[in-house]
Amino acid sequence: MKTSQPIDAFGRDLSQEVKESVYSSSKAKYDKRIGALNAGYIAPDSLRKLAGQIKQHTLENLPSYLESAIGKLEANGAKVHYAKDGEEANATILGIMNAAGATKLIKSKSMVSEEIHLNAFLENNGCESVESDLGEFIVQLDHDMPSHIVTPIVHKNRQQIATTFEKMGLGDYNDDPTTITRRARTYLRKKYLEAEVGLTGANFVSAESGRIVLVTNEGNARFSICANRIHIVLVGIEKLVPRDKDLALFLNLLARSATGQQLTVYTQFINGPKAPDQIDGPGEMHVVFLDNGRSEILAGEFQSILRCIRCGACLNVCPVYRQTSGHAYRAVYPGPVGAVLSPLLAGKRYPEFADLPKASSLCGACNEVCPVDIPLPELLLRHRNKSKLEHIQKASAGTPPLGGWAVLCSTPSMWKSTLTLGKVMDYVPMKLVPVPAVQAWTQTRTLPPFRGGKFRGWYKEHRKHDSGNNQ
């Protein structure tokens, strides 16, 4: 069907195979999530609300929590950097590598590094940057983009992966998942040993202790910081939690919301670089706090999106994401969280992404599952209002203008006469009505018979009858 919205078109043209795998993996994760939450807690909903409040409190006091975290990290022996945007963050990371004479970096999964296109930047500057998360590794081999923030290759099947492995010289074609994993493992083991620098993100940073918290299911974050000299942590400034003990709540919610696990397989708490009495580990640790538009978001009406702990639950439950896949959103963060965040992170290029907040029926399922209770539908609505005020064509394409309707609805006499006149609509062949919205509706749906004014007529009679009875 004709459509003026790119996400709708993307979903329409998506292969049945990809659609099926996105749908079934989303549904499976949603079901597991519910199971895990209900098995573990009597009132999981109140935990979500609590986590949301803690994160909101953190955001409202971010400068002081950041200061505290930085103080602790430095006291623990880490070097702390602040990067105002992606360019600065990339330059900082390259600077650290250059200063150490390092050219080989191994990475554990980090959405922030996707956000600033770190891999491409390092490669352009003569460095090697290897993804160690299996999904991200496959994305990197394919020069593809992740389509989900937790499970980056939901859009791929194992046949495609096997073909890629064959092409990249990782062995003959073999699409057995165990073989695929073993091959990646053999390849990556070498890379772990060769790398001079290990780069990770951070799922949480405790303001109280400066502890960096990392969760993975493959143990690759731990491996990434075992055999090398330097550990670089790249983290958004919003990833703070006030106290160590808050982590109990967040780690439990994150794993359950993301994958339906009670806890991820590996959880690392990293205090700082190797202490003199420790046998191994990187002797140098850098923490790069990335702003990249976050301060601006913090100060505005979209603040609560910064509570996000990147669990992906809002993607998994979203009916639009399920129909269209992550790549439809043309940005690093897809789904409802992406529809809110991506236009904001785009800065001056906001208009290019102004259609994203329209990719929602505002059903509210995302808010219902969000472990930090972000009012995602409200934020989508705020974007729509903003785009309308700024006359951004990309957002309004396909949406019928409603100015005339508003006049009708604030003029009762007009409303009532339209109701009674509307009867003629029943005799108009809808195919011929030259209004795009009507056509878009009637291509796949019928309209019920027009009954305008009938209720009002009934009610008038009913009241007459009633008052008659009362006399």
Residues that bind ligand SF4 (CB under 6 A): 257, 308-314, 337, 369-372, 374
Residue 367 within binding range of another protein, rule CB under 8 A? yes
Give the separation between CA 63 and CA 294, rounded to whole angstroms.
Answer: 12
Q: What is the largest CA-CA distance in the chain?
A: 99
Which ranges in 61-85 belong to alpha helices (H)?
Answer: 62-75
Residue 423: phi, psi to the nearest 5?
A: -50, -35
**Given the rule CB under 8 A, which of 69-77, 191-199, 225-233, 402-410 is the region that contacts another protein?**
402-410
Residue 189 within binding range of another protein, rule CB under 8 A? no
* Residues 341 and 296: beta-carbon distance below 8 Å: no
CA-closest candidate to residue 195, choices 204, 184, 187: 187
List 230's β-bridge partners, or say none.
197, 284
Q: Which does 400 bind (CB under 5 to 8 A by kind): another protein, ligand SF4, none?
A: another protein
* Residues 252 and 40: beta-carbon distance below 8 Å: yes
Q: Which does 399 bind (CB under 5 to 8 A by kind): ligand SF4, another protein, none?
A: another protein
Residue 381 within binding range of another protein, rule CB under 8 A? yes
Least separation in angstroms between CB 364 and another protein? 5
Least separation in angstroms between CB 21 and another protein? 16
Name the residue nearer to another protein (CB basis): 219 or 398: 398
Give the separation between CA 82 and CA 90, rounded to whole angstroms.
Answer: 11
320-359 residues in contact with another protein (CB under 8 A) are 320, 323-324, 358-359
* Residues 316 and 356: beta-carbon distance below 8 Å: no
Side-chain-side CA neighbours of residue 383 (13 Å) = 34
**Given the rule CB under 8 A, which of 65-73, 182-190, 334-342, 389-397 is the region that contacts another protein?**
389-397
Residue 265 within binding range of another protein, rule CB under 8 A? no
Least separation in angstroms between CB 424 and another protein? 13
Strand, helix or coil for residue 140: helix
* Dihedral over alpha carbons 281, 284, 289, 290 (to 10 degrees): -90
Least separation in angstroms between CB 316 and ligand SF4? 9
CA angle, residues 252, 257, 260, in degrees to nearest 5: 85
Q: Which does 312 bind (CB under 5 to 8 A by kind): ligand SF4, another protein, none?
A: ligand SF4
Give the separation between CA 279 and CA 271, rounded to whole angstroms.
Answer: 15
Task: Classify residue 432 by burial, with Cβ atoms within 10 Å: 0-12, 13-18, 19+.
Answer: exposed
Least separation in angstroms between CB 122 and another protein? 37
Least separation in angstroms between CB 110 and ligand SF4? 15
* Residue from the set 8, 208, 238, 246 that interacts with another protein by CB under 8 A: 8
CA-closest candidate to residue 401, choices 441, 360, 445, 437: 437
Strand, helix or coil for residue 184: helix
* Residue from the set 400, 421, 428, 464 that interacts with another protein by CB under 8 A: 400
* Residues 236 and 293: beta-carbon distance below 8 Å: no
Q: Which does 167 bind (CB under 5 to 8 A by kind): another protein, ligand SF4, none?
A: none
Residue 95 within binding range of another protein, rule CB under 8 A? no
**Given the rule CB under 8 A, which of 215-223, 331-339, 343-351, 376-384 is the region that contacts another protein?**
376-384
Least separation in angstroms between CB 391 and another protein? 11
Name the residue nearer to another protein (CB basis): 3 or 217: 3
Give the separation between CA 325 and CA 338, rounded to whole angstroms.
Answer: 12
Q: Which does 308 bind (CB under 5 to 8 A by kind): ligand SF4, another protein, none?
A: ligand SF4
Least separation in angstroms between CB 309 and ligand SF4? 5
Q: Which does 397 bind (CB under 5 to 8 A by kind): ligand SF4, another protein, none?
A: another protein
Least separation in angstroms between CB 225 and another protein? 40
